[in-house]
Chain A
Amino acid sequence: MIEVVKAGMQDLVMDLGRPGYRAQGVPEGGAADVEAMILANRLVGNPDRAAVLELLLRGPTLRFPGGGRVALTGAEMQARCNGKPMPCGRTLEIPPGGELEMGQASKGLRGYLAVAGGIDSQPVLGSRATFLPSGFGGWQGRALRADDRLPFGVAGGHGKKGVISFAGCKAPLRILPGPQLAGFADAALKALTADAFNVSTDVNRLGLRLTGPALGYQGGALPSQAVLPGAIQVPPDGQPIVLGWDGPVTGGYPVIAAIIAADLSCLAQLRPDNHLRFSFVTLEEAHAAWRKRQQDMDEAIAWAA
C-alpha cells in the first residue's frame, strides 16, 4: 500500500489508456509520456501496461508501510527516500515504513513513479487511467489527496536493479501534414517550420496552447472532424493548439499538421515558456522513427549483475 502524506501539484494514476471508446466520445487518454511510463515499469519488473503515478511538475510525499520497489522516470524530479537523495531512472528498494518525498522538476513536466506490482485501482472501461474531465478512472476519478491509501499488486518479474540511459527528446518535434494543410496561406506554412513557438501557461492533458506567428487559415468553415493527440489545431486567432491526451475526440478547427506518434512523449515534457520548433517528415520517416524509439527503449536499461 502507498499512503499519500502530502499530494503533489497533480498526481494521477495512469496506464496505457482506454482505446475503443472514441466513437462514444471518450478519448484514449493514458500516460502522456508513454515511454517514461513503460521504462519505469520495466525498471521494477512490471508489465509495460501496469498502472503508475503521473506526477505534474511537483511530486507528492508518499509512505510505503510495507516497503516497495519503485522507479522514477520522465521529468528530472528531485526526490528523497527517508531524507537521502534518490536518483531518477533507476530501481530503488524502499524499506518498510520508508517515505519518498518528491519535489520540483528541474527539467521536463511529468514524472512517472512505478511501484512493483502496479497501482491496483479499479479499472473503468478497461483501464486504470484517470480521466479528469468526466471524473472517472484512476483513483476515484481525481488527483491524489493527502491520506489516500492506494493498494498495489504483488511484485513479480525479475527483481533485478536497472539504470536507464535513454536519449531524450531532440528538437524539433516532427510533424506530418494535417488534413486542412492546403487551406493555409504559404506564409503560415513557412512560419510553422521556420519560426519558434512558445508554450503558454495553458498546458494540460487536454492540450497545449502555443504562442507565436499567427497562422492564417483561408479555407471555409469546417464540419467537426475526428482528431488525435498531437494534432495541431488552429483557431481563428491563428495561435495553434496542440491537442493533448484527454482532448475531445472531435474538433471543429482546421488541423494544419500533426505530431508523429514517436514524438508525443516529448510533447508531454514541454512546460510553460519552453520554445519549440516543428519540422515536416514523410510518413516513412514517421514509421521509422517509431521503430527507432521502440528499439531505443529496449536497449535503454542496463541491469546490475
Chain B
Amino acid sequence: MTSSVPDAAPAPVWAVFDRQNDLLSAVAEVRRLGLEIVDIYSPYAVHGLERVAGFRRSRMHRVAFVFGSLGVLCALALQYWTTAISWPINVGNKPWNSWPAFIPVTFELMVLFAGVGSIVVFLGLSRLWPGRQAELPFAGLTDDRFALGVQPSLGTAQGAELAQLLRDHGALQTLIGPPTGQEEAR
C-alpha cells in the first residue's frame, strides 16, 4: 500500500526469535533506540513483556465495572418491580421491597453481566470470532516462536542495519518489509 508513495516511512523490519530472553533484550534495545514496535507475537504471555515494550495497560477492568454495575441495577430493578409493583405477594410478612433478600441474586447477576460483558468486549476489540482466519506473519508463532515487528523512522537505524541489530540480539531470521504470510521460520 505504502510502496507507491516515494517519501513513505522506511519499511518495517521483522525478526523471529526462539527464546523469550532474546526477545526481551531485543525489545528493550529497540525501545532504547526510540523505534516504534509494530507488534509482537508470542505463543504464551511472556512475563513482564508489556512493561519492557511500553504497551499501554489494558483498560478491560473499566468494561467489567460498567457491566457489573449494569448487572446490579438490572437485578435490583427486576426484583423490585416484580415483587413490589407487578404482583406483590406476602412472603413471611416481609416488606414488598425486602432488599436484603435480593442481594444473592443481585450478586450473581453482577458477576454474570461483568463476566459475559468483558468477554464479549474482549472478543470484539481483539477481532476474534468463530471462523475468523488467523493472520500469522510467520510459522510456529503458536508453538515456540516469537516475532517482533519494528517500524524505523527517518534518521534511525533501518533496513539491513536494523536487521543486523536484531540478529545480534539472537533473532533467527529477519525480514525487511511486511511479512507476506507463512514465511518459513523453522
A is bound by B: no
